[in-house]
Amino acid sequence: MGRDTENLTQPAITGEQLRLLEKLCNAVAVSGDERQVRRLVMDQIKPYVKEMRIDALGNLLASQEKDSQKPLEVMLAAHMDEVGFMLTAEDDREDGIYRFELVGGIDPRWLAGKPVVVGPNHQKGVIGCKAIHLTTAEERRNAFTVEGLRVDLGGGGAKVGEWGTFATPFQKLGGSIRAKALDDRVGVATLIELLKYDYPQVNLEVAFTVQEEVGLRGAKVAAHALNPDLAIVVDCTFAYDLPLQEEDSFYAPENERYNTRLGFGAAIYLADRATISDPRLVAHFVRTAEEKGIPYQFRQAGAGATDAGAIHLQRSGIPSISISVPGRYLHTPASIVRISDWENTLRLIYHALQTLTVDILKSDR
């Protein structure tokens, strides 16, 4: 089956994993057309899985060899789709210029003046904006809106309905990675890595989901079909750990709304807008991290959602938790993650799966 269970004591991020992540990040797969990533993943996981299938919405569902002695069925999920845009109409005046609408939560103020890729053939283009010389100071006080911006492909060739996204190439910056779509290609890469190992009490079902960015749709139907004992979602979550601007009155100022911070390890979710993590799973992950000395942080509760939001409400309920890699500037042309945070996330989930037993669900939630 190709799984190496003897030599590696725990997973690691080496050149091999970085090269895979690069391929994944450079692929274009906006919510609604996840083909490119799905194909890449299928190639990668073939040696490590017994069964693979694609469901009605396009989710890729895979499972390791099922061992009936193993009492726990665990679902891992990461989403294949990224945020982007769809060409919605040709501009009335110029050829090769298109109106577009956003797919997923993108702040329009990050869009102007960026290179983009459109369509299955990665056609190159830009989201341009008028030269500053042709603007007034008054005008520049107002933010750009999607209604006012256009995708310019420098000539025809693209069709209304095609998807596109940012054209940022993957790049390693010392101990960090800068790329687009780290949300959630880093999760996808993590799942691929985890599939290479064997877990004593756990039959692993892996869902590479679609359409997370437009409403957790793939995860909903995947969870309904798999109906596991519990689920672990691996995503990439915002890090707003930037410096403050203003001075506080009496004390030195602190950024209190960082959500997560780069360099502080795997982010464990307690609660977001869509899910209150099962406390039994939270306790298990915290225990595992402490015992193995893996750096971890609690993602601040409040906004946001992951596939767990849809998964945990399926059928009669599925105990769920999300563990994410912190990332800066998600849903913008260029995001940044720390390789150490990724490695710690990978290791934390690996060890948590290794030590999972059926006792975890014995006590009432």
Partner 1 sequence: MKELLKDLVEIPAPSGYENQVRNYIRQSIEPLVDEIRVDSMGNLLAVRRKNGAMRLMLVAHMDEIGLMVTHIDRQGFARFVSLGGVMPIHCVGGRVRFLNGVQGVIGVEKNPTSYEIPPLEKLFIDVGAANAEECPLRIGDVAVFERPFLDLGKRAVSKAMDDRVGVAVLIETLRRMEKSEFEIYFVFSVQEEVGVRGATVAAFGVEPDLGLAVDVTATGDTPKGHKMEVRLGAGPAVKIRDAGMLADPRIIHWMVQTAEKAKIPYQREILEFGGTDARAIQLSRSGVPAGVLSIPCRYVHAPSEMVDMEDVENAVKLLLRLLQTPPRLDSHS
Partner 2 sequence: MKTNHISTLLKKLASPPGLSGYEESIANEVETLWQPLVDEISRNRLGSVLGFRQGAADPPRPRLMMVAHQDAIGLMVSGMREGFLRLTEIGGIDHRILPGQLVQVHGKRTLPAVIVQPPHFLLPPEAQEGSVPLSYLWADTGLEEKEVQRLVQIGDPVSFGRNYIELGSDLACSPSMDNRASLCALTLCLQELKGRRHAWDIWAVSSTQEEETLGGAATSAFQIRPDLALVIDVTHASGPGSPSHKTYPLGKGITLGWGPTVHPRLYEIFKELAQKLEIPFKMEPMPRYSGTDADRLQTVAEGIPTMVISIPLRYMHTPVEIVSLKDIQRAARLLAEFAVGLEIDFMDKMKWDETPKT
Please confirm whether the linkage preceding 184 is cis (ω < 30° from 0): yes
Closest C-alpha to 140, from 100, 109, 106? 109
Q: Does 42 bind partner 2 (CB under 8 A)?
A: yes
| Lookup result for tokens 């420098």 | 154
Please, are residues 31 and 83 in contact by the beta-carbon 8 Å criterion?
A: yes
Instruction: Rule CB under 8 A: choose which of 1, 12, 143, 160 binds partner 2.
Output: 160
Pairing type for strands 114-118 and 123-127 reads antiparallel
Give the count of residues interacting with partner 1 (CB under 8 A): 26
Shortest Cβ distance from residue 67 to partner 2 (Å)? Answer: 21
Quick check: 19 binds partner 2 (CB under 8 A)?
Answer: no
Q: Which stretch binds partner 2 (CB under 8 A): 6-14, 164-172, 214-222, 245-253?
A: 214-222
Considering only 13, 27, 80, 86, the residue that binds partner 2 (CB under 8 A) is 86
Among 83, 179, 204, 318, binds partner 1 (CB under 8 A): 318
Tokens 């756990």 map to which residue?
A: 202
Per the residue annotation, which of 82, 205, 212, 213 is the catalytic one? Answer: 212
| Exposure string for 167-206, b = 16+ CB within 10 A, e = fewer | bbebeeeeebbbbbbbbbbbbbbbbbbbbbbbbebbbbbb
For partner 2, the binding residue among 16, 65, 95, 101 (CB under 8 A) is 101
Query: How is residue 356 written in tokens?
Result: 């999972």
**Residue 225 binding target from partner 1, partner 2, none, CB below 5 to 8 Å by type:** partner 2
Q: How far is the CB of 150 from partner 2 (least distance, A)?
A: 11
364 binds partner 1 (CB under 8 A): yes
Q: Report yes or no: 158 and 90 within 8 Å, Cβ to Cβ.
A: no
In the complex, minimum distance from the CB of residue 32 to partner 1, in angstroms, rounded to a whole number: 25
Measured from the CB atom, is 82 or 341 closer to partner 2?
Answer: 82
Smallest distance, Å, CB 43 to partner 2?
A: 9
Please choose which of partner 1, partner 2, none residue 217 contacts, taking the beta carbon within 5 to 8 angstroms, the exact cut-off set by kind: partner 2
* Helix/strand/coil for 124: strand
Residue 212 is a catalytic residue: yes
Which tokens sit at 321?
């938790």
Helices within the chain (DSSP H only)? 15-26, 35-45, 137-140, 182-194, 217-226, 279-292, 308-311, 339-354
Give the integer Cα–Cα distance in Å for 5 and 16.
18
- Tell me the catalytic residues: 212
Per CB under 8 A, residues contacting partner 2 are: 31-33, 35, 38-39, 42, 52-59, 85-89, 92, 99, 101-104, 160-161, 210-211, 214-215, 217, 220-221, 224-225
Binding site for partner 1 (CB under 8 A): 251-252, 254, 256-258, 270-271, 274, 276, 279, 298, 300-302, 312-319, 361, 364-365
